[in-house]
Amino acid sequence: MAGGLKEVRSRITSVQSTRQITQAMKMVSAAKLRRAQDAITQMRPYAEKLQEILANVSSTLDSSEGVYSVEREVNNVLVIAITSNRGLCGAFNNNIVKEVKRLIAEDYAGKNVHVLSLGKKASDTFSKTSHHTTDGYSDTPYEIFDDLTFGNAGDIATIAMSQFADAKYDRVVVVYNSFKNAAVQDVITEQMLPVVAKAEEGGSAATEYIFEPNREEIVENIIPNSIRLQLFKALLDSHASEHGARMTAMHKATDNASDLLKELKLTYNKARQASITNEILEIVGGAEALNG
């Protein structure tokens, strides 16, 4: 019985230590989530409206002007998979990996699909496959999360735009987690290139624009910057989603550790009480034997 008590005490100590770690990680993620959430909620309205304008403007350009809106037969596809660099965030990373694998197997079956991993967890998965690519990019593009800025995101988007314009890829899509709240993240598959106008409700025509100062400057500056902003928004969305998912996962882990701790303490008290009872019975039995 003494050996059993020692084992239970050891497990209690271990669970207490684990609960302290998960609780600390939950608090850290909560603090980071607040900043990341502010960043994406402030960015999202601007980015979405700009994306709407970009799509409508691109639909008015001919093939010689809109190099980023040229639609070709899809044979070569670049999938930009955005995950985190670390785990312990529930199904956050696995959902992205599953969606990318589904795209390869179903939507782009038989096509030449390359996966650019922005996030170490995606890189760990796809670097073992023939779909993995870093051609033209840094050997470790997932390091963008070490310094997540518009400039760094823009550098990656610029390379993708150049590869699309050179017809290396016929389509570029981004797969990421869109932040809803700390407990909910939606997997989004978003087409980055070619830029296409979204279907208007009721079949209404696209909005007409007056170009100022001129159409050429719009094409050369605003459209490329809008595409860079689209990727940056996806990275910010994923960044906020990661901290939300990790905070939720660590909250559940802390609750589970607390429940397990209660069970272990109850087991320990029962075992200890049984041990004391057995010792009393042995003493009483020994005393009766001496009296007899």
What single string gives the DSSP state of each residue in 129-187?
A: STTB--TTS-S-GGGGGGS--HHHHHHHHHHHHHHHHTTS-SEEEEEEEEEEETTEEEE
Average pLDDT in the 73-89 region?
93
281 or 19, which is more confident: 19
CB 226 within 8 A of CB 193: no
Strands 171-181 and 184-193: antiparallel
Average pLDDT in the 230-237 region?
94
Cα(195)–Cα(171) distance, rounded to whole angstroms?
Answer: 10
Query: Topology of 24-249 in CATH?
Result: Pyruvate Kinase; Chain: A, domain 1 (3.40.1380)
Map out the domains of the chain as residue ranges: 24-249
Residue from 150, 138, 119, 183 nearest 39 by CA: 150
SS3 of residue 211 by DSSP: coil
Cα(199)–Cα(9) distance, rounded to whole angstroms?
Answer: 64
pLDDT at 267 over 60: yes
| Six-digit token string for 119 | 């996030």
What single string gives the DSSP state of each residue in 2-33?
A: HHHHHHHHHHHHHHHHHHHHHHHHHHHHHHHH
Catalytic (active-site) positions? 89
Q: Which of 86-90, 145-149, 168-172, 283-287 has the lowest mean pLDDT?
A: 283-287
pLDDT at 203: 47
215 or 65, which is more confident: 215
Could you report the per-residue pLDDT of 189-223, keeping only the tens digit for each?
999 999 876 655 444 455 676 777 776 677 777 88
Mapping DSSP onto H, E and C, the string for 74-122 reads CCEEEEEEECCCCCCCCCHHHHHHHHHHHHHHHHCCCCEEEEEEECHHH
268 or 62, which is more confident: 268
Residue 60: pLDDT band with limits 50, 70, 90: low
CB 164 within 8 A of CB 194: yes
pLDDT at 52: 78
